[in-house]
Structure 1
Amino acid sequence: MAAFLIDLAIKIAALIIIPRHRKPTAAMAWLLAIMLIPFIGILLFLLIGSVRLPKRRREEQERIVGIVSERVSRSDAVVADAAGLPRWFQRVLEQNETLTALPAVAGNVATLHGDYQQSIDAMAAEIDRAERFVHVEYFIVALDDTTRGFFAAMERAVTRGVSVRLLADHIPSRKVARSKETFAELDRIGVSWSWMLPVMPLRGKYQRPDLRNHRKIVVVDGEVAFLGSQNLISRDYDSAKNIKRGLMWQELVTRVTGPVVASANAVFLSDWLIETGEQLDTEHVPAADVAVSTSPGALMCQVVPSGPGYRTESNLRLFLSLIYGATEKVILTSPYFVPDEAMVYAITTACQRGLEVQLFVSEIGDQGLVYHAQRSYYDTLLAAGVRIFLYPAPYILHAKHFSIDDEIAVIGSSNLDIRSFTLDMEVSLLVHGRSFVEAMREVEQGYRDAGRELTLEEWRKEPLRATFLDGLARLTSALN
């Protein structure tokens, strides 16, 4: 009798608590779990049911957004002149600034780096030119043969008297091989470093353990920045499992100069402040103090951070707004494509409006549940008219970017999945400029040439067992 009453109380409480401030799909998934397996379901909900950071961190994030708003200059010399842009796109820029306090700025130059080692070497070369400071922020940091030159460049910078600071996400960076050696090396060479989102309950540092900081940022002297998908680790992620399968990661990184670097730096300074309590006023470079490109191909750019510290999903709102604003084509690249309902509707509606819509994903997966959940959307997308291209094994296409029509692109750390929209701290770079999109088109063509197109006829020959696994994984993906 007591067990029955406890079970009933749990279910009634779940019906009251879970639907509040939660998307219907996520609420239904949690309620289903609790109804079917009440005791296990409620334990899981208590562990990973909250998508919000602790109250103290949320309040600190709001305070920091205010600081960012004051710091990031809206000088007439750098703020983007949106007068000639489509009205819908002007509204997207305004939306981004409302949500993140970071404005769109003009006079930038950006180039793409798709070679794994060369991108890391390019960052190391910029660090070797540093005179004031170097800011490094990564989801995963590891010292290995691929990154050794980067670490050596940081050591040389410290020796020259340059301030070098590094942020690494706690759980993934601790999990990689030889992590103790990595952070011992940072101590030896004199880099100031800190964990992001540490899970240390005995030290009073705890939040939902799978809320992670997934950003990848390098800023040198406030003049040059790198953003994209690539972590600071070897191409096989130093993983015995990956090496056994022969897996290698394919990435895309952008090098940016111009006033928008101030925004990328502001994101790092915000994360450093929230993790260490240290406000680095001397390492803030106002956008108005950064050299502006006056070349005809200069780009308008806007940095868009997102994550559970914000009141809403600024990355998801950006992506949806751009897809709905597109008039000709939408080309998406994401290693982990597990969209919410709004994203599925936006993509399929674009097809119904007569747009060309393409999606680049990996042929194989490195994370079983995500891989199967992603596959569960292929039938709907293919039936709507989306062209899906599979990047070939043994590569994991880990690049995260998309292009809209001929002048708009986004590149950054955010996947097109529920985790990146809700649980992870991400950073994206919105770019307006034909030359940048043309360069991205070349990257996209490289994906087509390397891989193959998946057809609806081929997909519908998938065995029933695979379809069952895909559907099951899709249900679990809603538990956020």
Structure 2
Amino acid sequence: MKILPFINTLVYAINLGIILSLVFYKRERPEKVLAWFLVLVFLPPVGLFLYFYMGINWRDTVLNDRFSPTISDLIHKSLGRFEGPNADMARMVSNLNASPMFHHNEITLYKDGIEKFSALIKDLKNAKHHIHLEYYIIKSDELGRQIFDILKEKAESGVKVRVIMDKIGCRKFNKFYKKDLMAAGVEIVTYTATFAFVSSIVDMSINYRNHRKMVIIDGQIGYTGGNNIGNEYVSKGHMGYWRDTHMRVEGDFVLGMQGLFFDDFFAVLHRNQASRKWEYIKQSEIYTEESDLAEYFEPTQITKNLPMQICYSGPESAFYSIELMYIKMITTAKERIFISTPYFIPSEGTASALKAAIKSGVDVQIMFPAQYDHPMVGHASMTYLAEMIESGARVFLYDKKAFTHNKAMICDGRSFTIGTANFDVRSFFFNYEVNTLIYDEYYASKMEGLFQEDLENAEELTLENYFNRSRTVFLKESFFRIFSLL
């Protein structure tokens, strides 16, 4: 028996089984089934590899898509009902995440990491009780060590320091430095997307990542938005100036961030300890699970009225909360929608909602980077942006010598969302994300002002100049579009 024909037949048989499983067992979304069908049939060996790399749900640690009852009880529900113009939106988010409306808050918006990290470092140095930090990407470069040296000093002084890392996102974090931090009392847990016995060897899946980014300090101050921790996020990378909205908040909203962090931390900690890696066994000896978390949910003294909600979702969500939030915001907009995103691979629902809004007379403008940090995704995004232009949207490409990693949407100058979710299917369906939804005209106008500033450093993409490019670029974009929904 010749081995090569046998292998080809086996690959085709496995691929056929995968396709049938997607259709009849998993009942995946039609556009995803079609995408896998094309890859598995026309690129059999590559498709099979990609399916094991991207398609299988290897999820080892499942993060909650609603606050756990214990945590929910600790979040003060005396925050009242919201009767503003977006009351139906507030009810939807509350029903999806068991998240109340957080009324009393003060926020500061940062347009880049230079502003954000300058403020964060000051707050970290002033921490008295605890520091909770959760990021997708953390590097042990100049910025990373500056922050983690502070965490180490704080842990040694008695401040409780907890950190959640993602195995893929933090793969460049120095292992020896990490052990040094843990020995000093910094509690670090690592989210993995593969089975525990496999993750000790390899975790290669680019899907099912913990993409959340939060810092909570003493239960009174919170940071969330698009920045990760690394030199490029303070514009010291090869892409030049890095545009990225982040937020500092004081007030009731921090309670929601605290609740989400604890749910994530305990879920990841449990799996890390079960993996039996020596560093986690050692860590479990240091770590003593507290029976009473009330001291982490102290009422704030902020009295300013600024209604905010936390919206989060993940691959295990019964309802994809962030996608539904975007759809609801888009379909209720009457005048204008401004979107900033580094990746634009809309779901069928969000794409249809945008097209319906455009045809209803809503001014839809999308800001997208002129240079890509992930070329495959960038090229695929251009095909979807062209569809939006054909429908009547206006698309702008940000400064070619800079990069916009900004993730925001502002509707009618009344409400907006910022956070970790990109406007793409990976954020909607495959990754754990967290967004902030803010109902306030003053801050919405500030966000629109930042969008207008970005327009000054951008060029409009028209259908004429989209099609007036080389055939090679056009074919490249069409090819990568095939993989965009996987």
TM-score class, shorter = 0.7 to 0.9
Output the aligned Cα RMSD.
2.7
Deviations 1:20-68, CA, capped at 9 Å, x for gaps: 33111110111222222445434433443234735xx44x737963444
Contact 1:105 1:259 (8 Å CA) reproduced: yes
Residue type of the alignment partner of 2:38: L
**By how many angstroms is 1:181 displaced?**
5.0
- Cα deviation digits, residues 429-474 of structure 1 (max 9, x gap): 0001112112212211221112222223222312222111111111
CA contact (8 A) 1:72 1:263 kept: yes
Stretch deviating more after TM superposition (274-283 or 369-378): 274-283
Distance 1:428 1:285, change over 3 A: farther
Measured in 1, the distance between the counterparts of 2:352 and 2:227 equals: 29
SS of 2:164's partner is: strand
Contact 2:66 2:97 (8 Å CA) reproduced: no
Q: In the alignment, residue 142 of structure 1 is paired with which amino acid?
A: K
Report the Cα distance in structure 2 between the residues aligned to 1:318 and 1:344, rounded to whole angstroms.
Answer: 14
User: What does 1:87-126 align with in structure 2 at a 5 Å threshold?
Assistant: 89-126=86-123
| Distance in structure 1 (CA, Å) of the matches to 2:430 and 2:100 | 24
Q: List per-residue Cα deviations over 1:303-326 (Å, max 9, x = no partner).
A: 111111322321111111110111
Is structure 2 residue 19 aligned with structure 1 residue 24?
A: no
Match for residue 192 of structure 2? 197
Contact 2:235 2:241 in 1 (8 A): no
Q: Which amino acid aligns with 1:253?
A: H
Residue aligning to 2:82: 82
Relative to structure 1, is the Cα distance of residues 168 and 238 closer, same or farther in structure 2, using a 3 angstrom cutoff?
farther
In structure 1, stretches of 5+ residues that fail to align are none
2:426 is matched with 419
* 1: CA distance, partners of 2:295 / 2:138: 26
**1:69 equivalent among 69, 72, 78:** 72
Write the letter of the residue equivalent to 2:82. A
Match of 2:246 among 233, 244, 253: 253
Contact kept, 8 Å, 1:334 with 1:398, in 2: the verdict is yes
Whether 2:484 is the aligned partner of 1:477: answer yes
The letter for the 1-side match of 2:55 is G
Q: Residue 139 of structure 1: which of 112, 136, 141 is its match?
A: 136
Partner of 2:125: 128
What is the CA–CA distance in structure 2 between the aligned matches of 1:291 and 1:7, rounded to whole Å?
Answer: 59
* Separation of aligned partners in 2, 1:476 and 1:224: 40
Question: Is 2:228 the partner of 1:231?
Answer: yes
Q: How many residues align?
A: 461
Would you say 1:325 and 2:332 are equivalent positions?
yes
CA distance in 2, matches of 1:477, 1:398: 18
Partner of 2:205: 209
Please give the alpha-carbon distance, in whole angstroms, between the structure 2 residues aligned to 1:249 and 1:228: 14
Shift of 1:200: 7.0
TM-score (norm 2): 0.87
Aligned counterparts of 2:289 and 2:420: Cα–Cα separation in 1: 25
Indicate yes or no: 2:56 matched with 1:50: yes
Question: What fraction of aligned residue pairs are identical, expressed as a percent?
Answer: 24
Closer, same or farther in 2 for the Cα pair 1:284/1:416, shift >3 Å?
farther
Q: Secondary structure at the match of 1:252?
A: strand
Contact 2:113–2:233 (8 Å) recurs in 1? no
What are the equivalent positions in structure 2 for 1:457-468 lying under 5 Å apart? 457-468=464-475
| 1:51 and 1:422 in contact (8 A); partners too | no
| One-letter amino acid of the counterpart of residue 44, structure 1 | L
2:302: which partner in 1? 293
**Cα distance between partner residues in 1 of 2:15 and 2:422:** 34
**Whole-angstrom CA distance in 2 between matches of 1:43 and 1:324:** 39
Whichever residue aligns with residue 18 of structure 1, its letter is L
Q: CA deviation at 1:166?
A: 1.0
Q: Does 2:266 correspond to 1:270?
A: no
**Alignment of 1:179 onto 2:183:** no
Q: Secondary structure of 1:311's partner?
A: coil
**Match of residue 314 from structure 1:** 321
Q: Is the 8 A contact 1:323 1:404 kept in 2?
A: yes
Q: CA deviation at 1:126?
A: 1.3
- Name the SS for the 2:434 alignment partner: strand
Q: In the alignment, is the contact (CA less than 8 A) between 1:72 and 1:102 conserved in 2?
A: no
